[in-house]
Structure 1
Amino acid sequence: MNKKPSDEVVMAWVYLLKAQNAAMGHVEAMFKKGGLPPFSWYDVLWELEKEDAVGLRQFQLEERLLVSQYGLSRLLTRIEKAEYVERLPCSEDGRGHRVVITRPGKKIRAKMWEVYSQAINTAVGDRLSDKQCEQLKRLLANLVD
């Protein structure tokens, strides 16, 4: 079981990480240039917007985002201070809360998507053909599934 990875496997790993870092660095730079919140806010707002007025419990967000409870709690506090989300009492559990996206939260998420979609296109769409993207998707799916 102590099989070491081949040089090809190690280099694939290195380029996977480099590609991810380059792409995310580009997205973060474009958000900053546009005066938008950091990327970490986007997925939170997106998950909450999909649920609309119902919102999600914090543990549900943790499961969807794979973020630690402590990290998510701090992140939600920052997003709540910006008035993009609010915590409402949970009818099923008097002690719990549901996190819901606000109207300003929906607006900022839409602005973020405008920039994010362009960044995706710049980082991937302008460099790979649709056929190459399909191949890459299939290869990466093997690592996720």
Structure 2
Amino acid sequence: MKRKPSTEATAAWIRLMRVQSRVLDCVEQDLKKAGFPPLAWYDALLELSRAPSGELRPVELERQMLIPQYSTSRLIDRLVDEGLASRRECKIDKRGQFVEITEAGRELQKRMWGAYSAAIEKYVGSKLSDADAVRLSGLLDRLGCSCGEVKLPPVSVNESTPLR
């Protein structure tokens, strides 16, 4: 028989889910107030901009996104409609497609980082010391590894290469 979670583990799970949801909602609201589209747009544009040639297959984009995107094709449609990304046929596999970031997409992603980084500082950075943030990251890495990932992808953050 499998062990049931302790009261403490259950309380930690509930807190983790509530805090993640509330902070994400606050970040989304701050982006909206600043006149920007949803965080999923930033996330997709960031991943496209980090790809070696600025392009990914839709399935690769979905896998790399920070925020789960259950309607990636709809998100890609919106980015293409706004001129932030373009689709291109795969030369090897004619059925396959690539999504490529445009210059307008790169510019929007860079502009959004100002509001996004301010929100991260407001809702996370200002609440934790650097030592607390390192400890929290370590605990979250342990949780991620328990879900089958051998090692979580590294996080790289600085002004020129925003988030992740």
Equivalent residues of 2:54, 2:101 under 8 A apart: no
Q: How does 1:40-59 map to 2 (within 5 A)?
A: 40-51=40-51, 53-59=53-59
Q: Distance in 2 between matches of 1:138 and 1:54?
A: 31
d(CA) in 2 for partners of 1:20, 1:62: 20
Q: Which has the higher helix share?
A: 1
Find the counterpart in structure 2 of residue 106 from structure 1: 106
Match of 2:132 in 1: 132
Task: Name the residue aligned to 2:159.
Answer: none
CA distance in 1, matches of 2:53, 2:3: 51
Q: Distance in 2 between matches of 1:31 and 1:52?
A: 27
Higher relative contact order (CA 8 A, sep 6+): 1
TM-score (norm 2): 0.81
Q: What is aligned with 1:13?
A: 13
Q: CA deviation at 1:54?
A: 4.6
Q: CA RMSD in A?
A: 1.5
SS at match of 2:51: helix
Secondary structure, counterpart of 2:136 in structure 1:
helix
Once the two structures are TM-superposed, the CA of residue 13 in structure 1 deviates from its matched residue by 0.7
Instruction: For residues 55-78 of structure 1, give each alpha carbon's deviation from its aligned partner in whole angstroms, at most 9, with x where no partner exists.
Output: 11112213223644xx11111111
Instruction: Quote the Cα distance in structure 2 between the aligned partners of 1:61 and 1:3.
Output: 37
Tell whether the 8 Å contact from 1:52 to 1:101 is kept in structure 2 after alignment.
no
Contact preservation (8 Å) 2:55, 2:98: yes
Matched, 1:36 2:58: no
Other-structure match for 2:78: 78
Q: What SS does the aligned partner of 2:121 have?
A: helix
Q: How many residues align?
A: 143
Tell me, yes or no, if the aligned pair for 1:62 and 1:72 is still in contact at 8 Å. Answer: yes
Structure 2 alignment gaps of length 5 or more: 146-164
Q: Distance in 1 between matches of 2:124 and 2:82?
A: 31
Match of 1:92 in 2: 92
Equivalents in 2 of 1:52, 1:137: separation in Å? 27
Alignment deviations for residues 21-60 of structure 1 (CA, whole Å, 9 cap, x no partner): 1210111011100110101111111110012645111122
Describe the SS at the equivalent of 2:22.
helix
Distance 2:128 2:54 in 1: 39
